Amino acid sequence: MGLQEQTGLPPTLKIDHVTIAGPELAPMEQAFAGVGLVTDYGGPHSNGVTHMAWLGFNDGSYIELISSLQPGQKDAAFWGEYIVGNGGPCAWAAQVDEVAAEAARVSAVGIPVSGPAYYHRRRPDGVLVEWDLAFLDEKGAGAVLPFIIKDITPREWRVRPSASVVDGPLTGIASVTLGVQNLESSIELFRQVYGWAPPSITDDATFGAKMAYFMKTPVILASLLDDHSWLSERLHNLYHLADI
């Protein structure tokens, strides 16, 4: 009996953040600032390779812009191929109460897990921000299933609402839409991990994809309606970068 059947409700996921990768941080920051969304610089990561900026929302979620400190640098954990290849949106993270416990639960249903692992970054003001995380599945870190994260230091040390969005219409990240090559297997993956009910599936000509909506969750899956759409090109490029 799955978790949904035991509780009568699907387990929920809380989006922590989504990640956008590029070969240089400044152009991404400038692109956001150009539409009035000024990001905040977060500092270098403990891997010594990447650094980031963030756009924080009132609900606690945020957009992470990530790049390498030096052009061409790669780090295995932090989306090196996406950074060098200008991959753009490449991952998402979910908050959990305990990383080790959730990693063990997911492993127990047959999904490979990497972690838990400790990471940190040093903010420009010298404050050390610390967290634990784990990567679920082997098909790109956070590319389909979210990677999971929990703060060690107070969350407001890691992120806070950015001044450019405070009191504005953008209040948070309500959902993620994940482009997938095989809709059936991706649906089964989420149901295997979270015990969710079957999704509602519709064709969306405007979006150019077949959409699977897991009700009362933040997850939407999108698969190709044809082989010549923008989504087809996007998936081809991303899967080529990730070699998955």
User: Is 164 within a domain?
Assistant: no
User: Do 24 and 92 have their domain in common?
Assistant: yes
Looking up tokens 């990240």 gives: 173
Q: For residues 1 and 216, which has the higher predicted lDDT (pLDDT)?
A: 216
- DSSP letters, 20-63, are EE-S-HHHHHHHHHHTT---EEEEEBTTSSEEEEEEE-TTS-EE
- 89 neighbors 138 (Cβ within 8 angstroms): no
Strands in the chain per DSSP E: 14-21, 40-44, 50-56, 62-68, 88-95, 113-122, 128-136, 147-151, 176-179, 200-204, 209-213, 219-224
Please compute the mean of the pLDDT values over residues 212-218 and round it to a whole number.
95
Q: For residues 83 and 230, which has the higher predicted lDDT (pLDDT)?
A: 83
Asked if residue 208 has pLDDT above 80, the reply is: yes
- 159 neighbors 60 (Cβ within 8 angstroms): yes
Q: How far apart are CA 6 and CA 91, in angstroms?
A: 30
DSSP β-bridge partners for residue 151: 131
Q: What is the pLDDT of residue 244?
A: 43
Mean pLDDT lowest among 90-94, 107-111, 138-142: 138-142
CATH assignment at residue 80:
3.10.180.10
At residue 131, the 3 state secondary structure works out as: strand
Asked if residue 101 has pLDDT above 70, the reply is: yes
User: Is 105 within a domain?
Assistant: yes
User: Is 170 within a domain?
Assistant: no
- Extract the tokens encoding 34: 């150009």
Asked if residue 18 has pLDDT above 90, the reply is: yes
The number of domains in the chain is 2
Mean pLDDT lowest among 68-72, 154-158, 189-193, 233-237: 233-237
Q: Which of 132, 158, 184 is the last residue of a domain?
A: 158
User: Do 100 and 202 have their domain in common?
Assistant: no
Asked if residue 140 has pLDDT above 80, the reply is: no
Asked if residue 75 has pLDDT above 80, the reply is: no
* Mean pLDDT across the chain: 88
User: Is 224 within a domain?
Assistant: yes
User: Do 194 and 101 have their domain in common?
Assistant: no
pTM of the model: 0.87
User: Predicted confidence band at 231 (pLDDT cuts at 50, 70, 90)?
Assistant: low
User: Do 42 and 82 have their domain in common?
Assistant: yes
What's the domain range around 220? Answer: 176-242
